[in-house]
Amino acid sequence: MENSRELEIRQQIDAYVKGQLSEDEIQDLWNEFAKNPHLLEVLEIESGLKSILEEENKPKKASINVLPSWTWHAAAAAVILIVALVQLFKVDTPTELNQFLVANIEPAQIETADALRADGVNLTEADSLLNLGFEALISGDEDRALELFETVINNHEEEPYGSKAYLNKGIILYNEGDYQEASTAFQESADRAENNRMISEKAYWYLGNALINIGELEEAREAVFEAYKIDGVFRTPAFRLLQKLNYDLGKYDYDDFDTQQLN
């Protein structure tokens, strides 16, 4: 079933082929096509391009002139837009890819203790260190937070503490723009969180983002695909980012995406 956003895009396509969109609205529509290339098929159908081209290839008959004039304008508009989009995708700039990335990871993604003292559960030293690191981070003391998470890494590698601390370390480094070190921390978290679905998804998603920032697109695609397969909260943004990575890496077939192999 089509979601409300796709229905809205279809209405915009219909308005476009009828010449009812402003320049700004047309630009917004192009941005949607850049994010979702499959919508080009909708444009082709809505404009009647296929049927017109088929008719054009047949022997000319007098009756062809009875086609409504707006149909020919729609076909021309569709061709112009498709050509423009092809040119748009040929311009391979970091900005295009960066618009799909996480710019800054929110503190809410930091992993803390699984329970609170109020719940009647005794917190371990590692739990307390994770909580203190979170408090330091939201207070603006990133250096102190990193120090606390490093203490967990060095003294409490057992799970889930190791994967949590590495994830938290990666988040701070990512927000500081140290994507190389962040990717190392996220990879460590992902490796340790094999049996923890939530932490694993976060680790792979942010790992993919960090790797893109250092230009490792093939490795990023693998990491984002791992996050996508977990089918959690990052599935939708992971799918969109995979589409963009697939295009940039020359993998154009988005059909049956769930069944495609990375190689």
Q: What is the pLDDT of residues 10-39, one digit of tens each?
A: 777 777 766 777 777 776 766 665 556 555
Among 9-13, 214-218, 256-260, which stretch is predicted with the lowest mean pLDDT?
256-260
Predicted structure pTM score: 0.61
pLDDT for res 257: 47
pLDDT for res 50: 39
Q: Per-residue pLDDT for 171 more than 90?
A: yes
Q: What percent of the chain has pLDDT over 70?
A: 63
Pick from 227, 230, 231, 263: which is nearest to 242 by CA? 227
